[in-house]
Structure 1
Amino acid sequence: MKRMSFGISLILAVVAGFTLSAAFPATAFWPLAFVGVFILYWSLIGRSFWTGFLVGTITGATFWLTLINWLTLYLGPVPWLALGILQALFFGVGAAVSGIVINRGPQRWPSRWGRIGVVSIVLASVWTLRESITSVWPYGGFSWGRMAQSQAESPLAQNVAWVGTAGLTFLVVVSSAFLFQTLRERQTKLLAFPVLFFVSILAVPAFPHEITGYTNVLSVQGNSRAGLFDRGAPGSILQDHVSGTLPYQGQDIDMIVWPENASDLNPLQSVLAAQVLTAVSAKLDAPIVTGTITVDEQDRVFNSSLVWTDKALAQYDKIHPVPFAEYMPNREFWRLFQPDLVDLVTRDYSFGTRPNVVDINGVLAGISICFDITDDNQAYLMIGDGAEIILAQTNNADFGKTSENLQQLSIARLRAIETARSVVNISTVGTSAVISPDGATLDSIPAYQPAEMLTTVPLSTTITPAMSFGRVIEWSIGAVAIAGVLLILIRRKP
């Protein structure tokens, strides 16, 4: 495998971006993740730092602008371009550093196994470190589009319980890197090594989890007009979910779960909403978990989830509101560029400080609101506080019939396996599903139809290695990336 012309490298960069994107929903052909990584590395052979940065940025732009095209549905091209290009630039930096490893690593570790093994490990570590940084920075990061998330439906998904999201990303990338570096050696007999490695991670068994009990969950998808530009009558979203719930009177139900924003009237302030929730809870003899917007004594606004019977028994306020959607950071600065879009964010949600685990009828439930499900730290908090089940409430109405809801559902599925917890992923418009701790779908509702799921959901208190050592795994991989690159950059003494 030799250095190609810069023009061919740019063409391969575009191919790599489209290939990586196709590994995620809606296409969801997971083997393409390995192919995309391989093609990108191939395009970086012989590239300098800056040409590698350009090649990587082209790959990143192709990947990101394809993956998150759902942002354009109602908001137009500006937010889509802004987020996609920012992520592409980060991707470009990662590719530029990877180019250094590809082109100078074999001289730093000149033995055959150094060229294949060490170089590949450093390459995968650099990729994982870049994802780890962009998942938390800037403005809390954007933990979407991580390589691990392309594997939610693959046999490799079971590895996430052992090594976490960052560890699964590492395994995917290092598998491609092993094959790439082996082919550079031009000795077919060495191909047994990457093949055996891939077979070995395919053969990793599911982490054993213990079912400690069951709870009967009624989850309701109201198929409501709940988007940013929808103008339904106040209380109409609440009524949609009441209508889906009442027919289940007399059933054995332990909790009723409605999605984010299901109560579009805040029952802590609206007497009517409070009376409706109290009546529904009493008729079904079960607490309701509903999303709503709350305001505290300091007039701070929160995206909240309430546990309600005849009053609010518990409340979780979203810890990590989404920048540029749920709050506008540096509003005056960004308003200089696109005032109309900035002004669409009419209120800034505050950052919640309440625990994300609540007691619902004797069951400890971790609460996730929309993009919370992508946040690793919130998963650690849930499991650390004893959550036996995860309730992932979301409102996908702003994204229409795009692949956003499927991408979010795949993240929820991966999170179920990683935490060994059932996840009830319930949306205003879908796609909704109940996922067991091993990632299997127990029940589901297609997008854009009103429906309900009454599901006997398994509970668990198992602590997976991913939850015990998740940050340690991530930091260790990052340390390998930094050490490996520094060793390459520091010249050996003669």
Structure 2
Amino acid sequence: MGLAYGAAFYFTHLMWVVQFLGPIPWIALAGVESLLFALGAIPIALAYRWGALLERRATRRLLLPVLIATLWAARELLLGTWPYSGFPWGRIGMSQAGGPFAEAASWVGVTGLTLLIVWLCACVVDWATRPAPRKLAGLLPAAVILALLLVPAFPTTEAGSLRVGWVQGDGPAGYFDTRSPGDVLAAQRQASDALLGEPMDLLVWPEGGVDSDPLNTPATARTLDELVAGAEAPLLMNAATARGEDTYNTSMLWEAGSAEQMHDKVNPVPFGEYVPHRWFYERIVPDLVGLIQREYTPGTNPPLVSVDGVQVGLAICFDVIYDSVIWDGARGGAQFYAFQTNNADFRGTDENLQQLEFARMRAIETGRAVVNVSTVGTSQVIAPDGAVIAAAAADEPAAAVTSVPLRTGLTPAVLVGPALTLLIPIAGLGELLTLGLLQRRWNRLSTPTPIEAADATESPLKAS
């Protein structure tokens, strides 16, 4: 049942992967996620089976739903960390940007939000499957959890605003787009012309907005210098950079001739930005693996840059789905976030819309505004409460200057998030093992000893 559900969900939810390299990567990714989801269904099934042995019904009705929620959230954490740094794309907590429970994420984080939602559902399921007549008082635990889910967002502190220019160049930025060297840079540069002359404190370009390494290409560096001079503001841009023998997906704050502040993508995409165990996969799909020539190295520098004393949190493309990257930015003093992404390989799919919902959830979770800029769209400026301040539709050039609100102060989600990430799997495993031991004890007590079995089979005459 877990496999059937996982396949139905992931093969539709990740349909946009087909647009990138065809059906094989889609089948591989959705298949692995479905299988891991199915394996995670086994502990949940055991919890329901063993939970039925609890002697007191009230105890079972209180403890079993929270165990189910803990095991579900633990499964999401597993899928988000393994294999190859995981793929935390389909989390329940991330689905709530437009839902009624989104603000609770500022208190418990995305994983905690998953836990509460599944806990609520498990309480309702437990009540609905009880023998009739069912008393409404049995829904009291569900009502308490619902109240927790509807709590207003944690208030962060206003700290002024920053005028941010952002550019969606709509250039040929896709992996298979027909282009010449410099075409992506030219598209971004041309779209930026509309902003020159407008007062701004920072100009933001998307991931891959520069298709050559400005640290090692003087002509590219001169183009960026001219733009920074014309905008009278530093440029937050992104390009592939080479340092020594390593290649990084790097965001740089470009100012007058150099980039002193840089952040490298923490979680390069496996089979997109590097190939793990290349020797093995080349034997299976050599043509597909051969297309990925560049091997990005994971970054270790903080996801932050400073603009005139204002700390800007960063996340490059899919790094937006990894909790630790977002929390590191907030704990480092980020007053708003700039998320740079590409999306060009997924034109015409729902991928960019799903990623935008993740960006909105991050705004609510951290109480920070988000400037989410894509090469081809959809780009948005998102308020700390998740509302959209400004937006550009997909597949068209766009540029604007937006006053972005700044916030300080850490939400409880950022403070307790790492602890929840550690405690949820431990608690789920511990509770399940306890139930297993109780089930084993119950089996031992209910199994007759050899003497008892012999007595039970004696003839009536012998017994008399």
TM-score, reference length from structure 2: 0.92
- 1:147 matched residue in structure 2: 92
Look up the SS of the partner of 1:289 in the other structure. strand
Give the Cα separation in 2 of the matches to 1:361 and 1:401. 38
Please report how far the alpha carbon of residue 111 of structure 1 lies from its aligned counterpart in structure 2 after TM superposition: 2.2
Give the Cα separation in 2 of the matches to 1:96 and 1:453. 50
Query: Is the 2:238–2:250 Cα contact (8 Å) retained in structure 1?
Result: yes
- 2:160 matched residue in structure 1: 213
- 1:172 matched residue in structure 2: 117
Give the Cα separation in 1 of the matches to 2:194 and 2:35. 51
- 2:305 matched residue in structure 1: 358
Give the Cα separation in 2 of the matches to 1:376 and 1:365. 17
| Structure 2: gaps of 5 or more residues | 446-464
Give the Cα separation in 2 of the matches to 1:219 and 1:113. 56
**1:480 and 2:440 are equivalent in the alignment:** no
Please report how far the alpha carbon of residue 62 of structure 1 lies from its aligned counterpart in structure 2 after TM superposition: 1.1
- 2:349 matched residue in structure 1: 402
Query: Is the 2:107–2:411 Cα contact (8 Å) retained in structure 1?
Result: yes
Give the Cα separation in 1 of the matches to 2:312 and 2:176. 32
Give the Cα separation in 1 of the matches to 2:62 and 2:423. 17
Please report how far the alpha carbon of residue 194 of structure 1 lies from its aligned counterpart in structure 2 after TM superposition: 5.5
Please report how far the alpha carbon of residue 455 of structure 1 lies from its aligned counterpart in structure 2 after TM superposition: 0.7
Give the Cα separation in 2 of the matches to 1:257 and 1:103. 54
Q: Residues 353 and 199 of structure 1: is their aligned pair in 2 closer, same or farther, counting only changes over 3 Å? A: closer
**1:65 and 2:11 are equivalent in the alignment:** yes
Query: Is the 2:127–2:139 Cα contact (8 Å) retained in structure 1?
Result: no
- 2:41 matched residue in structure 1: 95
**1:412 and 2:347 are equivalent in the alignment:** no
Look up the SS of the partner of 2:237 in the other structure. strand
Cα deviation code 1:370-428 (max 9, x no counterpart): 00101111112111211111110000001111010011111111111111111111000
Give the Cα separation in 2 of the matches to 1:466 and 1:74. 34
Give the Cα separation in 2 of the matches to 1:94 and 1:486. 15
Query: Is the 1:163–1:465 Cα contact (8 Å) retained in structure 2?
Result: yes
Letter paired with 1:184: T
Matches within 5 A, 1:304-319: 304-310=250-256, 311-319=258-266
- 1:44 matched residue in structure 2: none
- 2:283 matched residue in structure 1: 336
Please report how far the alpha carbon of residue 86 of structure 1 lies from its aligned counterpart in structure 2 after TM superposition: 0.7
Query: Is the 2:123–2:139 Cα contact (8 Å) retained in structure 1?
Result: no
Give the Cα separation in 1 of the matches to 2:50 and 2:294. 50
Query: Is the 2:124–2:139 Cα contact (8 Å) retained in structure 1?
Result: no
Cα deviation code 1:420-445 (max 9, x no counterpart): 11111100011111111111111111
Query: Is the 2:52–2:60 Cα contact (8 Å) retained in structure 1?
Result: yes
**1:368 and 2:318 are equivalent in the alignment:** no
Query: Is the 2:123–2:142 Cα contact (8 Å) retained in structure 1?
Result: no
- 2:219 matched residue in structure 1: 272
| Structure 1: gaps of 5 or more residues | 1-54
- 1:261 matched residue in structure 2: 208
Query: Is the 1:303–1:318 Cα contact (8 Å) retained in structure 2?
Result: yes
Letter paired with 1:279: E
Give the Cα separation in 2 of the matches to 1:363 and 1:165. 26
Please report how far the alpha carbon of residue 460 of structure 1 lies from its aligned counterpart in structure 2 after TM superposition: 1.2
Matches within 5 A, 1:213-252: 213-252=160-199
**1:467 and 2:414 are equivalent in the alignment:** yes
Cα deviation code 1:19-52 (max 9, x no counterpart): xxxxxxxxxxxxxxxxxxxxxxxxxxxxxxxxxx
Query: Is the 1:156–1:201 Cα contact (8 Å) retained in structure 2?
Result: no
How many residue pairs end up in the alignment? 438
Please report how far the alpha carbon of residue 313 of structure 1 lies from its aligned counterpart in structure 2 after TM superposition: 2.8
**1:118 and 2:63 are equivalent in the alignment:** yes
Q: Residues 250 and 165 of structure 1: is their aligned pair in 2 closer, same or farther, counting only changes over 3 Å? A: same
Matches within 5 A, 1:35-46: none
TM-score, reference length from structure 1: 0.86
- 2:456 matched residue in structure 1: none
Look up the SS of the partner of 2:135 in the other structure. helix
**1:131 and 2:86 are equivalent in the alignment:** no
Aligned-residue CA RMSD in angstroms? 1.4
Look up the SS of the partner of 1:492 in the other structure. helix
Give the Cα separation in 2 of the matches to 1:442 and 1:252. 19
- 1:388 matched residue in structure 2: 335
Q: Which moved more, 1:98-107 or 1:426-435?
A: 98-107
Letter paired with 2:39: V
Give the Cα separation in 2 of the matches to 1:152 and 1:346. 37
Look up the SS of the partner of 2:441 in the other structure. coil
Cα deviation code 1:126-158 (max 9, x no counterpart): 000011112111111111101111111112000
Larger Rg: 2
Cα deviation code 1:141-184 (max 9, x no counterpart): 11110111111111200011100111001011111111111112
**1:430 and 2:377 are equivalent in the alignment:** yes
Letter paired with 2:25: P
Cα deviation code 1:436-468 (max 9, x no counterpart): 111111111111111113110011121001101
Give the Cα separation in 1 of the matches to 2:320 and 2:93. 14
Letter paired with 1:423: V
